[in-house]
A and B are shown apart, each in its own frame.
Chain A
Amino acid sequence: AQSVSQHNHHVILSEAASLELGCNYSYGGTVNLFWYVQYPGQHLQLLLKYFSGDPLVKGIKGFEAEFIKSKFSFNLRKPSVQWSDTAEYFCAVPNQGGKLIFGQGTELSVKP
C-alpha cells in the first residue's frame, strides 16, 4: 500500500533562510504528487502539484518542489522564507484507489 513520510516534524527558521522539507512515498509507479499548506486556523490549500514532465515544479508564493523518481522523493523548497510562511505543510499522493493519503505534516515556524 502507498504510504507517505515527512521526516521533519517541526522546523524553525529565521526570515530569509532557505527551506527544504522532505517527503518520501513508497509506491514506485506513475504518481501524482501534491504539497498542501495549512495556515494557522485555516483549511488546507494546494501549494503545488506534479503530474508529469519537468520534475521541478513551481507553485504559489515562491515555493517549488523537485520530483526525484529514483529516490521516491518530492521535497519542497523555498529560497528565502518569510514570517507569513509560518504554517503546517503536508505532502500527499493518491493510493491505488485514487484517494489522497497524507504525510504527518511538518510545522514550519519562521522567526521575524
Chain B
Amino acid sequence: DAGITQSPRHKVTETGTPVTLRCHQTENHRYMYWYRQDPGHGLRLIHYSYGVKDTDKGEVSDGYSVSRSKTEDFLLTLESATSSQTSVYFCAISDRAGAQGYTFGSGTRLTVV
C-alpha cells in the first residue's frame, strides 16, 4: 500500500531520550491513527487525529504525544522513552471514522534499551 509510509522502519534508542516517529500519507484521508502492537495484546490505540491540529487520546496514551500540522503527516513522540515502550508501532488511515476499515503502514519497530 504505497499510500502510507512510516519512518524510520527500525530504531534503537536509550531510555530517557525523546523519539519521534513519522507517518506520511498520500491519500488525503482525514483520519489518522497510531497503534502499538505487543504480543498478547493485539493492537492498542495510542492517539488519533480527525483533522489538521485535531487530535485525541486513545487507550494507551500515557508517555506519548502527537501532532498533525498537515493533512499528510502525523507524528508520534515518545517524550522520554522507557523500556515498556519497546514495541511495534503502526500508523493507519481512513477516510471515514473507522466504519470502513483502515489502511495500515508497514510499522516501526522501536527498541528502548
Q: How far is the CB of A21 from chain B (nearest CB, A)?
A: 13
**B33 CB-CB contact with A under 8 Å:** yes
With contacts A90-B42, A99-B33 known, is A46 near B48, CB below 8 A?
A: no
- Asked whether B101 lies within 8 Å of A49 as measured between CB atoms, the reply is yes
Interface residues on B, range: 20 to 34
- Asked whether A90 lies within 8 Å of B43 as measured between CB atoms, the reply is yes
**A98 CB-CB contact with B under 8 Å:** yes
With contacts A99-B58, A104-B41 known, is A43 near B99, CB below 8 A?
A: no
With contacts A42-B106, A43-B105, A44-B90 known, is A99 near B43, CB below 8 A?
A: no
How many angstroms from the CA of A32 to the CA of B96 in the assembled complex? 13
B35, B41, B96, B102: residue with the most chain A Cβ atoms closer than 10 Å:
B102
B55-113, CB < 8 A from A: 58, 90, 92, 96-107
**A22 CB-CB contact with B under 8 Å:** no
**A97 CB-CB contact with B under 8 Å:** yes
**B45 CB-CB contact with A under 8 Å:** yes
- Asked whether A98 lies within 8 Å of B107 as measured between CB atoms, the reply is no
A76-108, CB < 8 A from B: 90, 92, 94, 97-105
- Asked whether A102 lies within 8 Å of B98 as measured between CB atoms, the reply is no
What residues on B are CB-neighbors of A103 within 8 Å? 42
8 additional contacts, CB 8 Å, given A98-B96, A100-B101?
Answer: A36-B104, A43-B106, A49-B101, A99-B48, A99-B58, A99-B97, A104-B40, A104-B42
